């Protein structure tokens, strides 16, 4: 069985501090090793065979950009900007701030395709309604950059200045930018963009942020980040982002477009809140020993939560689905390896015909998943903590059927 991916972060219940977001992002690296086969990741190597007959070498950075997969949603008269549209993948490296590889990107946004529509007024009046976080390379600690779009009024310049040191303001592309040094020796900026919205940008992490990158002072580079965010906002390309990879991956279907609000309703019996979080892979991974031989894959995770549980503090609130992307349907047959019982992993066949291969419930320690595949996608549903595997199987089969209908619809 291929190694299990990390669990997704809990949904935001109030303003998510940049240190939390960055720590989550930097820690979300798939572990090396596994029960079935051998997982490998090597840095900065081309995905081509070094010698004839030997498998290709995986690449540690194949995420090359983003694209608008749907227009920006409008909620309560407010246009909800996707923070990853303001700072797409690749921008930080161009500016001169090296992004950590391998490390995933945390992408949070509002999905309007939910029953009754999302509401930024329920539990979100003082919170970001979209977020985008990157881990930054450093010799120590876990510094990082986060961008948040907030559906709340910018309180005041005085309020911001009371939270930072060395405050200053300037104008960029017609917008006023308030900047200051944080109490953790990072940098923060807030940019009012309307009567009820503002953007927050943070470069931060205690005791681990270098004074400079490539000889350029960090403060100067941070100003470049903020300028990029402002210019992208002004460009109007602010819709919900999809992500683009080097070939042969290209534009992959988002995990939250696989696990739709309709599938969430089947899974929980409750309407989706519209707040979703995706864990976006930067690296491709390789399995050397599977039923189809060596193969490469990407993994993306989607987390959704109901309106009723939006402010829940319960661990694991919501539903999480992991999508594994294979290069073709033939390689996707390797997903059936999940359904092979081992000494450590218990497996139950579902007895249902789902998709293009086997479907099963697997239990490893305290993690229970429901596995099936369709075309080039392998799909894993995650049980709630303490949920009985048989009850989970009965709950998950209709969810899988809904996912397949959505994929084929």
pLDDT at 33: 26
Structure confidence at residue 166 as a pLDDT band (50, 70, 90) = confident
Residues 152 and 259 in one domain: no
Answer yes or no: is 48 within a domain.
no
Give pLDDT, residue 119: 66
Residue closest to 149 by CA, chosen among 308, 281, 261, 16: 16
Q: Which of 225, 241, 257 is the last residue of a domain?
A: 241
Segment 50-59 shows an average pLDDT of: 68
What is the average pLDDT across 363-388? Answer: 93
Q: Which residue has the higher pLDDT, 364 or 315?
A: 364
Of the pLDDT bands very low, low, confident and very high (cuts 50, 70, 90), residue 374 is very high
Task: Report CA Rg, the chain.
Answer: 21
Q: Is 200 within the bounds of a domain?
A: yes
Per-residue confidence (pLDDT) for residue 83, from 0 to 100: 97
For position 189, what pLDDT does the model report?
A: 94
Task: Indicate whether 71 belongs to any domain.
Answer: yes
Segments forming the whole domain that contains residue 201: 18-30+65-241
Task: Give Cα separations from 354 to 298, 300, 315, 402 (angstroms).
Answer: 22, 21, 30, 11
What are 64-118's pLDDT values in tens digits? Answer: 999 999 999 888 888 899 999 999 999 999 999 988 877 899 999 999 888 777 7
The whole-model pTM stands at 0.84
Task: Indicate whether 234 and 266 sit together in one domain.
Answer: no
Residue 9 lies in a domain: no
CA distance 45 to 283: 11
Residue that terminates a domain, selected from 179, 207, 241: 241
Q: What angle do CA 280, 282, 283 make, to 5 degrees?
A: 125
**280 and 170 belong to one structural domain:** no
Lowest mean pLDDT segment, chosen from 203-217, 288-302, 331-345: 203-217
User: What is the per-residue pLDDT for 156?
Assistant: 65
Instruction: Give me the mean pLDDT over the 359-364 stretch.
Output: 93
Query: What is the distance between the alpha carbons of residues 262 and 205, in angstroms, rounded to a whole number?
Result: 38
Structural domain tally of the chain? Answer: 2
In this predicted structure, the answer to whether residue 198 has a pLDDT above a threshold of 50 is: yes
242 pLDDT more than 90 = yes
103 and 169 share one domain: yes
CATH code of the domain in which 266 resides? 3.40.1000
Nearest residue to 203 (alpha-carbon basis) of 280, 282, 137: 137
**Residue 45 predicted with pLDDT over 50:** no
Position 84 scores a pLDDT of: 97
Which of 175, 209, 241 delimits the end of a domain? 241
In sequence order, the 6+-apart residues with CB closer than 8 A to the CB of 409 are none
- Other C-beta atoms lying within 10 Å of the C-beta of residue 215: 6
């Amino acid at each position: 069985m291929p190694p299990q991916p990390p669990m997704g972060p809990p949904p935001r219940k109030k303003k998510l501090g940049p240190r939390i977001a960055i720590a989550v992002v930097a820690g979300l690296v798939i572990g090396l090793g596994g029960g079935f086969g051998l997982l490998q990741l090597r840095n900065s190597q081309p995905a081509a065979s070094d010698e004839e007959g030997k498998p290709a070498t995986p690449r540690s950075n194949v995420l090359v950009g983003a694209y608008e997969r749907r227009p920006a949603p409008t909620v309560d008269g407010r246009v909800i900007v996707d923070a990853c549209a303001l700072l797409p993948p690749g921008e930080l490296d161009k500016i001169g701030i090296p992004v950590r590889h391998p490390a995933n990107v945390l992408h949070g946004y509002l999905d309007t395709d939910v029953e009754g529509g999302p509401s930024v007024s329920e539990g979100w009046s003082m919170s970001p309604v979209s977020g985008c976080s990157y881990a930054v390379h450093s010799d120590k600690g876990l510094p990082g950059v986060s961008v948040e779009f907030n559906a709340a009024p910018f309180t005041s310049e005085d309020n911001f200045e009371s939270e930072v040191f060395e405050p200053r303001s300037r104008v960029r592309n017609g917008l006023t930018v308030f900047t200051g040094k944080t109490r953790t020796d990072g940098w923060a900026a807030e940019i009012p963009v309307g009567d009820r919205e503002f953007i927050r940008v943070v470069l931060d992490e205690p005791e681990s942020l270098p004074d400079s990158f490539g000889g350029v002072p960090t403060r100067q580079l941070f100003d470049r980040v903020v300028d990029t965010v402002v210019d992208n906002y002004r460009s109007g390309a602010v819709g919900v982002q999809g992500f683009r990879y080097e070939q042969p991956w290209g534009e992959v279907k988002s995990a939250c477009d696989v696990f739709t609000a309709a599938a969430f309703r089947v899974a929980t019996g409750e309407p989706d809140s519209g707040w979703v979080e995706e864990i976006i892979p930067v690296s491709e991974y390789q399995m050397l020993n599977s039923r189809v031989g060596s193969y490469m894959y990407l993994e993306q995770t989607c987390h959704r939560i109901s309106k009723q549980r939006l402010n829940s503090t319960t661990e694991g609130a919501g539903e999480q689905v992991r999508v594994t992307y294979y290069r073709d349907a033939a390689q996707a047959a390797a997903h059936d390896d999940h359904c092979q019982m081992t000494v450590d992993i218990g497996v139950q066949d579902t007895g249902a015909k789902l998709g293009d291969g086997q479907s099963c419930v697997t239990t490893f320690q305290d993690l229970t998943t429901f596995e099936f595949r369709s075309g080039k996608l392998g799909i894993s549903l995650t049980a709630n903590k303490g949920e009985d595997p048989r009850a989970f199987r009965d709950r998950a089969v209709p969810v899988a059927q809904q996912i397949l209908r959505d994929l084929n619809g």
